[in-house]
Amino acid sequence: MDISPEQLLQFLVGYAVLLFSLVVHENAHGLAAERLGDPTAREMGRITMNPLPHLDPIGTVLIPLIMIVSPYRVPLIGWAKPVPVNSGNFRNPIVHDAYVAAAGPISNFILAVLGAVLYIVVLLVYKHVPSLEANGGNSLLFFRLLCASMIQINCVLGIFNLLPIPPLDGHWILFRYLPSRWAAVMVAIRPYGFFILLALLWTGILGRIIWLPMQIIAGGLFTLVGIVVTVL
């Protein structure tokens, strides 16, 4: 497969953003759990920006690489090794499990917003510094790819993790509100959640589920960037 230098740069920047975002996501879980009384992640060295303790061979390496070489233009998606959480340390395990779960997707949406802010700053700098606009083509391309990846990938990660499918964060959040009968059903399907996700991924259903909300959220952020840069 022939890959242009621009495509290679896009792949490398996208993967770097994905890895960084996954690490932030897992740290958010660990910090939320610690705040609620569970020091397990801290004690096991999992509250760290070093990506190595968070690497999952399938979710952090195999799946992103397959998506990079895929002929279909899809945003990168993946997952890291889950941060260990001991719910027995929580005062209210069901409620606090939901809070810890929600911290991960929230961190991704915050990163997407920060990506939009950075995009605005970069475009305004290049807009108002004539020498940069005239001679900074390669650096501007890099920053455009970086900021766009921050927005798109984190929107996808946030939406993906909110799906109510085990072991994703959304199922823990939903579990908080389910009646006991439906909660028992959710517990019963937990061992099969990974296979459900793989099936949804390979059939393309997962992409179709994520696509519309991603377009709304990411599209809104890109529109905001364009409006602010035009006005300023």
pLDDT at residue number 70? 63
Which CA distances in Å does 167 have to 34, 45, 74, 141? 20, 22, 22, 37
Region 77-83 average pLDDT = 87
Burial letters 39-60, b for 16+ CB under 10 A, else e: ebbeeeebbeeeeeebebeebb
Q: What interhelical angle do 93-128 and 137-161 show, nearest 10? A: 160
What distance in Å separates the CA atoms of residue 206 and residue 71, rounded to the nearest whole number?
17
Q: Give me the helices (H) in 59-179, please.
A: 63-69, 93-128, 130-135, 137-161, 169-175
Name the residue ranges covered by the structural domains of the chain.
5-231
What distance in Å separates the CA atoms of residue 78 and residue 76, rounded to the nearest whole number?
7
For residue 92, the 8-state DSSP code is S
Of the residues 26, 34, 43, 133, which is catalytic?
26
Region 25-47 average pLDDT = 95
Tokens matching residue 211: 């696509």
- Write the pLDDT tens digit of every residue in 83-117: 999 999 999 998 999 999 999 999 999 999 999 99
What distance in Å separates the CA atoms of residue 195 and residue 116, rounded to the nearest whole number?
34
| Catalytic (active site) residue 26 | yes
pLDDT at residue number 5? 75
Q: Which amino acid is at 80?
A: A
Contact indicator for 66, 58 with CB cutoff of 8 Å: no
Tokens matching residue 118: 């950075």
Rounded to 5 degrees, what are φ and ψ at 120? Answer: -60, -45
Rounded to 5 degrees, what are φ and ψ at 118? Answer: -60, -40
- Write the pLDDT tens digit of every residue in 167-178: 899 999 998 888
230 exposure class (CB count in 10 Å sphere: 0-12, 13-18, 19+):
exposed
Contact indicator for 111, 21 with CB cutoff of 8 Å: yes
Mean pLDDT value across the chain: 88
**pTM reported for the whole predicted model:** 0.91
